Structure 1
Amino acid sequence: MYGWIWRHLPGNAWARAFISLVLALAVVYVLFQYVFPWAEPLLPFNDVTVDGAGAAR
């Protein structure tokens, strides 16, 4: 998959590396701005049920 993307990017190796970096940053931005906030209520990370009943002292 990455080879296919690399072959289809325009320019020489430096231009392709720069474009790849920009694309990766764009994906990270979209994930943090849109995907993760949308998925956060669906994930059970805040549903903790830890109490002190079985804790050793």
Structure 2
Amino acid sequence: MYAWIWRHLPGPFAAKVLGALVLIAAAVALLLFVAFPRVEPLLPFNDVTLG
């Protein structure tokens, strides 16, 4: 998968590195601002019980 992405990024090596960093930043932003907030209410971390 990573080789496929690397082959399809345009430009020389420096442009590919920059493009890869942009893709990584976009994936992290998508997780932090979209995926994790939607999943957080379903996680049991706030169910504190003392037994």
Taking structure 1 as the reference length, what is the TM-score of the superposition?
A: 0.82
Q: 1:20, CA displacement in angstroms?
A: 0.3
Question: What is the CA–CA distance in structure 2 between the aligned matches of 1:8 and 1:26, rounded to whole Å?
Answer: 17
Instruction: Note the 1:17-32 alignment, pairs <5 A.
Output: 17-32=17-32
The residue number in structure 2 matching 1:38 is 38
- Structure 2 portions without partners, runs of 5+: none
Give 1:4's aligned residue: 4
Per-residue deviation, 1:45: 1.1
User: In the TM superposition, what are the counterparts of 1:41-52 in structure 2 within 5 Å?
Assistant: 41-50=41-50
- String of CA shifts for 1:14-50, please: whole Å, max 9, x gaps: 1000000011001101111111000000111111213
Between Structure 1 and Structure 2, the one with more helix by share is 2
The separation in 2 between residues aligned to 1:9 and 1:21, in whole angstroms, is: 11
Between Structure 1 and Structure 2, whose CA radius of gyration is higher? 1
Aligned residues: 51
Report percent identity of matched pairs: 57
Letter in 2 for 1:45: F
